[in-house]
Amino acid sequence: MKTSLNKKIAIGFTAAVIVMTLVFLVIATIQAEQARRPSAEPAQSREVLPSAVREDSHRLDQAPSSPVTVVEFLDFECEACGAFYPTVQDVREKYAGKINFVVRYFPIPSHKNSINAAIAVEAAARQDSFEPMYLRMFETQTEWGEQQDSRAPLFREYAEELGLDMAQYDADVADPTTAARVKSDFDDGRELGVQSTPSFFVNDRLLELTSLDDVQLAIEEELAK
C-alpha cells in the first residue's frame, strides 16, 4: 500500500513539473517574440484610431450585446502565437456568446512566410472561409514555419482541401488589394502601439502579457463592470 501511495505521489509530482515546464516554455516563447520588433517606425500620416477594431475586421466570435471585445494582432508564423493558440481557443470556448473576438493581421517582417500566410487567409476570407484557414494555419504551423522558401504552394493546397473555388483563390492571392488589406491591419497595429505578437486588446486596452491567464483576467475584469 505504501509503495502504491509513493508511486501516486511521484506521478502527481511529475505531472505538475511537466505542466509548469510547458507554461514556462510558452511564456519564454512569447517574451522571445516580443524582442522581434518591426523595424519600421509608426506611420504619422494616418488618422488617429479610436478603436482597435475596424468595420472590416475579421470577427471569429460575435456577441452584439456583450460589453467586451477582445482583439488579437497575430502573425501566423509566430511561434509565440502558435504557443498561445490553445489558450485562445479555450478562451473562445469559455466565453462563447459572452464576448466578441476579433483577429487582425500583424506579419513580422523577419518571418519569411508570414505575409504569404496572411494573404492566403485573407483570400480564403473572401470566400467566407476565414476561420477554417485561420485554424489550418495554426494547426500546421510546425510544418511550414521558419522556412526560408515560399510556402505559398502549400497554403494553396490548404485552400483546395477546404473546398474553395481555386480560380477565385488564385485571383484573390494575386490581387494587390488583398495584400493591401493585410498591410492595413499591420499599419493600424503599429499606430495602436503593437510591437510584437501576439498582442491583445481588451476593450481597446493593450495588455502587457506576463502569463497565459492575462487575457482571461482582463475579460473577467470588464465583465464585472
Looking at residue 49, its pLDDT comes to: 62
Backbone angles phi, psi at 70, to 5 degrees: -105, 135
Q: Which domains does the chain have, with CATH numbers?
A: 3-223 (3.40.30.10)
**Which H or E element spans position 27?**
helix 2-34
Residue with cell 488583398: 178
The pLDDT-based confidence of 212 (bands split at 50, 70, 90) is confident
Contact between residue 38 and residue 190 where contact means Cβ atoms under 8 Å apart = yes
Q: What is the mean pLDDT of the chain?
A: 86
Report the phi/psi class of residue 52: left, alpha or beta, with left for phi > 0 and alpha for psi in -120 to 50.
Answer: alpha
Is 0.85 surpassed by the pTM of this model?
A: no
Report the percent of the chain where pLDDT is more than 70: 78
Residue 115 has pLDDT above 50, yes or no: yes
Residue with cell string 488618422: 47
User: For residue range 150-201, what is the model confidence (pLDDT) as tens digits?
Assistant: 999 999 999 999 999 999 999 999 999 999 999 999 999 999 999 999 999 9
